[in-house]
Amino acid sequence: MKEHKITGLSCGHCALRLQEQIQQLPGGEEAKVQFNSSKIVLDEKMDMKAVRSILSSENVRFESDGEPTGPNWLMIGLYVSVASFIAALGAEWALNSAYIAILLYAIATITSGYPTFMKGLRNLTKFKFDINTLMTVALIGAVAIGEWKEAALVAILFGINELLESYGMEKARRSMETLLKVAPKEALLLKDGNTETISIEELKVDDVVLVKTGQKIPSDGIVVYGKSSVNEAAITGESLPVEKENGEPVFGGSINNEGVLYVKITKTYNQSALSKILALVQEAQESKTPTELFINRFANYYTPIIMIISALVILVPPLLLNEPWGEWFYQGLAVLIVGCPCALILSSPIAILSGITVNARNGILIKGGAYLEQLGKIEIIAFDKTGTLTLGEPHVVAEQAFHPDFYKVAYSIEKSSSHPLAKAVIAKCRELGTEEIEAEEITTVSGQGITAIVNGKTYRLGNEKIIGDIQTDGNVESVITSLKDEGNTIVLVASESEILGVFAIADEIRTESPAIIRALHEKGVRETVMLTGDHPAVAEKVAKRTGVSAFFGGLLPEEKVEKVKSLKASGKVAMIGDGINDAPALATADLGIAMGKGTDSAIETADIVLMQDHLGKLPDAVQVSRKVNRIIKWNIGLSLGLKLLALLLTIPGWLTLWIAILSDMGATILVTLISLTVLLHNRK
């Protein structure tokens, strides 16, 4: 299958009809016409001439066929039409000539209404009923009863409506396309001491590339030489640069701000984070939400119903009430125009596309419109603890020195260790500017800790078992017990006769977590729940500091799944995690959200991926999704409400063709403009 860019596609209904026709061609069973992204996906063996013929029936063409930026015939036709209409009004007023006026009204009708008229005639021959069919019948009817002025005005207003509708959809598409242009095209490959410019598709794992100032890093890799700040906004949505040096990972598509970086490629471009992001975003464009699917199904019944109502308006008053035929025929034509489903069909896609785009700019990948809609309905959010509400790294949260040599001895013993607890102690000692001295005869005691000689004296570092039978006074015992009761891991430092001090180590809570939990509650999330495999005492401590509504500790992966199931009984549930053990719970929840720097299994299972290594943008994503849902409801209400109001005017016989088209046009313009306000969200 091959993807082709097309131009001239401005109607969702038209896209569905074109897809159905192309699927009837040999080899066209899997063909897709994608309205939101203005693309068509075809089997490479298909008869392209036949495809072009079908596309041309809706004035759609392949962008590669040329003239993508040629004259806008719809705009030109509108200019001629408006000029002719004004001239016709002048002829009526100044020359008092009905014949010249009719001729000019006819020119105005044809120049503005010709594309619609031709489509409508083709549809009538095939008994297909859409807006073009309705408009064609209305124009023929208006001309047949001598309403030339009304016919011309209707054609002009409908042309303006079509133009504005296409501009609105194009605005949303361009916003998405701008997002997709972040992908680098070329790379500077280092080979035998020289650089060679190659396409990013040619890059292989273990290739080393040169990235100069201002250039994009071509694919995911590791810095092997150089130091610079890197802008990762395209991947994570974070605007602040991140410092990179030897041994640190970098994302493809991020920009080198200054200096020179040599990067060893760890993933081919197709496997890179950026490539996966762009693929997810493009797939998300074309996925249909439950609301959209309902609207499309509804529109299939809606148009025939409108035609039946129109026929009843034309026939019932003259036949049963002895009303004049001409007047009610005119009212029936107006009903046809009021019944145009354009605004209703546009109620959802522009808002959905805009919402996906805004979130993608913020580094939040929503894998489909249905998930965006679902996020706006979430009432309960369940969080894994480690790596989500916390950093997932041991950190000294408290310490108590009982002897002046406490930090010096601890640092000397731990500084050569790579154990996670040792790293926490080292970081704390460096933070305090502890004197660096050397330890000798370092020996590991299994299950207890380490013994070593520092300045000729023997010291022990580890858990409570390492101190043996050293006597402790009440104050020391009280401090240790208190720190343990808070759910911390205890690291003691002791000589052969006394305890020098104690470190309390725990997984560090992310500084932003309490504010995020508060913000989620403010955005309408009813309940926040923490699910963790850690000890209940640790879970309670984190829960208190972050402000979650409830917590459950000591859970196995299958028990997390059961908790998610029980939460679903009281509302829509989203689950957020980053580890492989979270994948089952992510799949069980109504909505799975993964941390972007988590495991591949969590990211693949999730419906939404947060490319940042924190939850900072989550409240914003919830707000955007709720706004999108609210806008869709407003749009549906507006489009149907304005039509109902116009239809009620048929009761006293006040409905005119131009009022009908204005009601439809007003609804379409309002729906489009309201939907586009979503794009303004992150410009606040």
**Helix, strand, or coil (residue 77):** helix
Which amino acid does the sequence have at 158?
F
CB 19 within 8 Å of CB 32: yes
CB 4 within 8 Å of CB 42: yes
- CA 61 – CA 57 distance, rounded (Å): 10
Name the token pair of 238. Answer: 């974070």
507 is catalytic: no
Indicate the DSSP class of residue 663.
Answer: H
For residue 489, the cross-strand partners are: 505
- CA 368 – CA 608 distance, rounded (Å): 9
- CA 35 – CA 169 distance, rounded (Å): 9
Q: Which of 130, 384, 590, 664 is catalytic?
A: 384
Number of neighbours of residue 260 by Cβ within 10 angstroms: 14
Q: Categorise residue 206: left if φ over 0, alpha if ψ from -120 to 50, beta otherwise.
A: left
Q: What number of CA atoms fall less than 13 Å from residue 635's CA on the CB side?
A: 31
- CA 265 – CA 175 distance, rounded (Å): 30
CB 360 within 8 Å of CB 277: yes
User: What are the b/e assignments for 421-433, b being 16+ CB within 10 Å?
Assistant: bbebbbebbeeee
**Helix, strand, or coil (residue 593):** strand
Name, in order, each residue with C-beta under 8 angstroms of 89's C-beta and a sequence gap of 6 or more.
101
CB 85 within 8 Å of CB 105: yes
- Active-site residues, by number, are 384
